[in-house]
Amino acid sequence: MTAISLDGVTLSIGGRRILSDVTLAIEDGEFIGMLGPNGAGKTTLMRALLGLVPVSAGSIQVLGAPVHRGNQAIGYMPQVSSPISGFRLSGRNFVVSATNGQRWGLPWPGKADYRDADRALELVGATELARRPLAETSGGERQRLLLAQALLGQPRLLLLDEPLISLDPNRQHAVIDLARRVQKELGIAVLFSAHELNPLLGTLDRVLYLGNGHAALGSVDEVITGPVLSRLYGSAIEVVRLNGRIFVMSDQYEVERGDHRHDDAHGHARDHGHGHHHA
């Protein structure tokens, strides 16, 4: 089954065209890294898959059905934008609070909801965090709890929006390894948004690069090339491979190093120069 299918899709936010006539298909069970320059529309595309941003033209299907809000087949881990609220909550209560997309409050979760939360906590190796207050968890541990939230209801597609922001390299690799392990164990598709390619090298099945209204989907060697990225950035790009790492350069400046800002829910660029953990 095709997990994500875009057919001639155009997306616009506030009169600004984000994607223009994009056609692509991501298969069930694929681990896809989504990259691109500031304002390229990584978050906007995820919100369109969730049915939160209407297409201006074309059509989107998720798991063989048209997009719609509240699709239980999609698990979504949103961008980090502010510290987690509810620090008095235990890890287990924090996870179960996301049942049916609700925040903590009425209706009170039932036994089945707690069983589902316990299943998700076990999947991400966070059972030991179940009773610990959020205030006593690290940034990496909170990422595990957020991933557990995204796994409630046994989704068939995971959308992970910049889960590596503000994590040190060791914790970044731990999050990537965890997402890959869960993806393989469940046999589901994952769309993993990031601002830098290198941490994801060796993990991806394919890469989806957005830019300048266009999209390129393929293997790292097919997509991460000077000609392809020059088209997506709209300027001359050089790709340098050195010691197993890939550097995307423009006028001898490493593009991705300066690309720590990302689109917010409204398509506006946000700066992540200051470290924080999560929303």
How far is residue 107's CA from residue 115's CA, in Å, rounded to a whole number? Answer: 17
Reported as a single tens digit per residue, the pLDDT across 154-198 is: 999 999 999 998 788 898 999 999 999 999 999 999 999 998 999
Give the three-state DSSP class for 64: coil
* Closest C-alpha to 35, from 270, 171, 229, 176: 229
Separation between Cα atoms, residue 6 and residue 262, nearest integer Å: 22
CA gap 101, 97 in Å, rounded: 8
- Residue 104 structure tokens: 């903590």
Evaluate the CA torsion angle 250, 256, 260, 264 in order and state its sign.
positive
Per the listing, tokens 């979504």 go with: 76
How large is the average pLDDT for residues 13-37? Answer: 95
Task: Say what the alpha-carbon torsion angle 199, 139, 44, 62 is, to the nearest 10 degrees.
Answer: 80
Percent of the residues in the chain that have a pLDDT greater than 90, as a whole number: 66
Average confidence (pLDDT) over 97-106: 60
Query: Which residue's structure tokens are 């040190």?
Result: 168
pLDDT for 127 equals: 92
Task: Write the DSSP symbol of residue 256.
Answer: G
Inform me whether the pLDDT recorded for 85 exceeds 80: no
H or E element at residue 22: strand 16-27
* Alpha-carbon separation of residue 78 from 51, 196, 232 (angstroms): 14, 18, 25
The first and second tokens of residue 270, run together, are 């946000």
* Mean pLDDT on 243-249: 92
pLDDT digits (tens, 9 = 90+) for 214-233: 999 999 999 999 999 999 99
- For residue 265, pLDDT over 80 is answered with no
Which 3 state secondary structure label does DSSP give 206?
Answer: strand
The token pair that represents 145 in the structure block: 């709890």
Most confident of 142-146, 188-192, 255-259: 188-192
pLDDT, tens digit (0-9, with 9 covering 90-100), for 201-218: 999 999 999 999 999 999
Residue 118 confidence (pLDDT) above 90:
yes
Residue ranges and CATH numbers for the domains of the chain are 2-83+155-270 (3.40.50.300)
CA distance 5 to 151: 22
- Greatest mean pLDDT among 24-33, 86-95, 160-169: 24-33
Amino acid sitting at position 276: H
